Every structure is written in C-alpha cells, then in structure tokens.
Amino acid sequence: MKAVITSILAAIILALTFSLPALAQDSGTITITMKGVNEISISLDKTQWPLGNVASDTEYTTSPPIEWCTLTAGGNCNMKTFIVGEDAKWVDNPGAYKWTLSCDGTNGDHIYGLWFRISGDTTRGPHGDGYVPITKTESEFWPYSGGSSSSLAPGNTRQFGLKLLTPTYFVGGRQMQTKITISAVNA
C-alpha cells in the first residue's frame, strides 16, 4: 500500500510539474509595421533611330512624327518624367570629335538641335507647335507645367516623336552618335 501511495504521489507531482508552467503561461504579441517601397519603371518601345547619311543644316523627323515611340509607365506609383540629351560623338574616336547639343534647339557650326513632341501636345515649346528642345540640362518630359495632368500612373502611355537639326557645318564621313535619357521619379 505504501508503494501505491508513493506511486500516486509521484504521478501527481509529475503531472503538476508539467501542467503548472502551462497554467502560469502568458502570451505576447509582436506587431510588424511595414511600408512597401515605391517602384518606378518606364519602358520605351523604340530605342534606336538610325538615320544613315545626313546633310548639313537639314531637319530630320521621326516617322510618324509624333507617334514614333511609346513610353509606358510601370511600377506601383504615379511618376513624373524628365528628358536630357548629350553631345553627339564620333563613334570611332569619341574624344576626338563631337557635335555640341544646342541649348535652345538651334544649330551652328558643329552644333546640332534636337527636339521632342508628345502626341496631342500642340502648344508647348518656344514656337507653340508642341516641339520642345532637348538640351544637356534635364527638363520636364511629362507632365509639364501647364499640362493636363499632374503625373503618369502605372500603365499610362505617352507617344512622342523626335526632330533633329544637323549642324550648319560638320566634318563629313564620320558616324556620329548621341543618346537621349528619359528618367522617372515618384510624383
């Protein structure tokens, strides 16, 4: 009988040993706070404009003139876009010869003009025809001051075209290349 009572007491002590911590246990909550980052992306359906041989003091326009390229806004937030150009450099020896990009779209000796126009925009630019000079200083692409919207939303598109005015004088026989950069920031 003593063994039975000892066994029962041992069983009760053993049961209490495992159940008391469970009865005394409390719970805690962890709150995780986060904010998704703004993702910005743009895509262009055209990234090359191969002109071939060009003549001096001549204007060249993409075809079609103002629906040549489509910019598509991606990501998950509204954005503003900007455009900037650079000097055209001789492909074979970029440090030896260049055409300087004009600051106002005009041309001169070894100076060329470059313009863009967004489809539907007929009032922007110095001549009120929608064409805006591309310069080496970043400027608004879309939206722009006085424009019809404040930003581009994901999925929005804008079609645009380019116009090139070659220098009044340049050294011929040299393949020249320039780049235009369109960038986006959170609106």
Report the share of the chain in percent with pLDDT over 70: 83
d(CA 114, CA 131): 10
Q: Mean pLDDT check: name the lowest of 56-65, 126-135, 138-147.
A: 138-147
Question: Domain for residue 132, yes or no?
Answer: yes
Domain carrying residue 148: 40-186
Question: Domain for residue 56, yes or no?
Answer: yes
- How far are the Cα atoms of 38, 61, 99 from residue 58, in angstroms, in the given order? 43, 10, 14
- Which whole number is the average pLDDT over 44-65? 96
List, for residues 1-49, the tens digit of each pLDDT value.
555 555 555 555 555 555 555 555 678 888 787 878 899 999 999 999 9
Q: Which two tokens stand for residue 156?
A: 């929005």
* Overall number of domains in the chain: 1
d(CA 66, CA 61): 9
Question: Domain for residue 23, yes or no?
Answer: no
List, for residues 150-187, the tens digit of each pLDDT value.
789 999 999 999 999 999 999 999 999 999 999 999 98
List, for residues 121-136, the tens digit of each pLDDT value.
877 777 778 899 999 9
Q: Which residue has the higher pLDDT, 74 or 19?
A: 74
Question: Domain for residue 35, yes or no?
Answer: no
Q: Which two tokens stand for residue 91?
A: 């492909």
d(CA 160, CA 182): 12
Residues 6 or more apart from 172 whose CB is under 8 A from it?
none
Question: Domain for residue 156, yes or no?
Answer: yes
Question: Domain for residue 10, yes or no?
Answer: no
Question: Domain for residue 34, yes or no?
Answer: no
pLDDT of residue 165: 98
Question: Domain for residue 4, yes or no?
Answer: no
d(CA 71, CA 161): 11
pLDDT of residue 36: 80
